Structure 1
């Protein structure tokens, strides 16, 4: 059977972080170091390159910045598919820089399932949290073999919440009827415009509790060192407290962690971006032209006004 790689409907960007950092090191050294120090730096960089070649371990870095709908999962799934198709499990590693306050259950469930693909394929997965990995964000983070958190990152919030406004009394005040037809006793439990019953509210609460139980079971499966009843209260914690509760394994920024890998590993950043439409490209080009042209026109107008004002001053106050 032939394997057909999935078509990636986005622009793929791959950066070799070692080369980028080393180029910056050279530029700084050229401005600040002596000839001897430049030579020593070149020798050091060559030594590191040989060590990386001998080690032959690659690290792939992905970024996930989550919104309420976890819309970044579309890029994440393509990036993970690329890694699974090209990298070697057991040798190469994956790092995900994760930032998310959580959101919709099905969206973050899918995002977490994408990371599970890496774990099940045998890749060592490290997740770095610099700012926040809460609720659905922590659902993703808990899958990692190793979780690294910045000292003041927000972690946890293992809970479920739902807010439903109800306008039924307002409609009644204005003599507006709202009719809802369903087939199935619990097809609709609570509504925005209808009159919610105690039975409907109880069923809705039951569904929230079921979702919470699934959430706790999922976290406990991948972080069995946790006291799940202690941390699954919906609370969040900052770095040190999260470490004490075993929600994370280490306190460090993602920058510090990645920098520690560069000497012995080839580190690649992978990013997919949606291809801009023709209209978006034209809009971008127009914006770039405006950014260039408008300041120039404004400067010319101001210069003309300034010259006119000088002429008027000279007419009012002539000097010999």
Structure 2
């Protein structure tokens, strides 16, 4: 016990010192940035063909001897020279990534990436979205889906690749693609709506605590956490969920009319193999396989809009990470457990 007491005191001192240093740095950064306009983000563009070429060349350098490698490079140089003489413009593929959380926070970057590519993309090009999301808030994923709809409306082919999961709001985004490609064991579907909240009104009454809910408008509040819920409120809440679900179904049907919507819009999920049978996807393949194939005939460009974080934000993230690591190390010592 004495060891743990000493360690707890040491931990408290260390955390206090780290926080004090970070507060000083944050104050200094605030003074420096005072009056400056907040910096915007930046669009980062990388050519994926170069990435694939680098992988291949690295493997060739390891497996081939000097003479073989020299002969191969000579042959490749001749091939490249012939292709340049033909001067045939290859189709372009713009690759985007969307890793969705419950608030679809990646929409902020997605909207800028789409705005940028639509200034150049034509019907001869293609947009490939690598999508990973288990869904989230209705309005957030509604906006993300609307951003993808801009690509369809501009007449640019859109392919959506799903390696792990595109469910609920994630599938709402995926269905906009003219082609949906899924890994065999990716999770798809969950075309449904859910809402849940606790109610502690009986607990409050047990302790003689009153909680007043005042509204102007009959349905300004239907279900609440602290107030006493009524059957009429529950019915209205369920009605709202049903309306949202119907809108969801209509949206999916609009972009994938081949679906038997009432059969798949039950809130169920399917793995890729079963999803193909339900017409939720068009092809079983990983995004790596699809892009490697496209790289043989096309120029692949990966777009990522990166928000520039202020010094205060970077310091805050560093502080959070430092405290988390200190607490984790302390807890690991106490419990002798490992965290992966």
TM-score bin, normalised by smaller chain: 0.7 to 0.9
Q: CA offsets per residue over residues 145-195 of structure 1, 9 Å max, x none?
A: 000000100000000000111010010011100001111111111101000
Name 1:39's counterpart in structure 2.
74
Q: CA deviation at 1:44?
A: 4.7
Name 2:56's counterpart in structure 1.
25
* CA separation of 1:20 and 1:236: change in aligned 2, threshold 3 A: same
- Contact kept, 8 Å, 1:48 with 1:263, in 2: the verdict is no
Query: Secondary structure at 1:248's aligned position in 2?
Result: coil
Equivalent runs, 1:197-236 vs 2, <5 Å: 197-236=230-269
Query: Secondary structure at 2:240's aligned position in 1?
Result: helix
Of 15-24 and 154-163, the range deviating more from structure 2: 15-24
Q: Using the alignment, how far apart are the partners of 1:86 and 1:169 within structure 2? A: 60
- TM-score, structure 2 length as denominator? 0.78
* 2:126 aligns with one of 78, 93, 113: 93
* CA separation of 1:145 and 1:8: change in aligned 2, threshold 3 A: farther
Number of paired residues? 279
Q: Using the alignment, how far apart are the partners of 1:60 and 1:22 within structure 2? A: 18
* CA separation of 1:197 and 1:267: change in aligned 2, threshold 3 A: same
Name 1:160's counterpart in structure 2.
193
Name 1:186's counterpart in structure 2.
219
Q: CA deviation at 1:22?
A: 1.3
* CA separation of 1:45 and 1:71: change in aligned 2, threshold 3 A: same
Q: Between Structure 1 and Structure 2, whose CA radius of gyration is higher?
A: 1
Query: Secondary structure at 1:85's aligned position in 2?
Result: coil
Query: Secondary structure at 2:151's aligned position in 1?
Result: helix
Q: Using the alignment, how far apart are the partners of 2:313 and 2:85 within structure 1? A: 44
Name 1:109's counterpart in structure 2.
142
- Contact kept, 8 Å, 2:223 with 2:234, in 1: the verdict is yes
Check if 1:11 corresponds to 2:42.
Answer: yes
Q: Which runs of 5+ in 2 are unaligned?
A: 1-37, 321-340
Name 2:183's counterpart in structure 1.
150
Q: Which runs of 5+ in 1 are unaligned?
A: 1-6, 288-320
Please provide the CA RMSD for this pair. Answer: 2.2
- Contact kept, 8 Å, 2:42 with 2:305, in 1: the verdict is yes
- TM-score, structure 1 length as denominator? 0.82
Query: Secondary structure at 1:225's aligned position in 2?
Result: coil
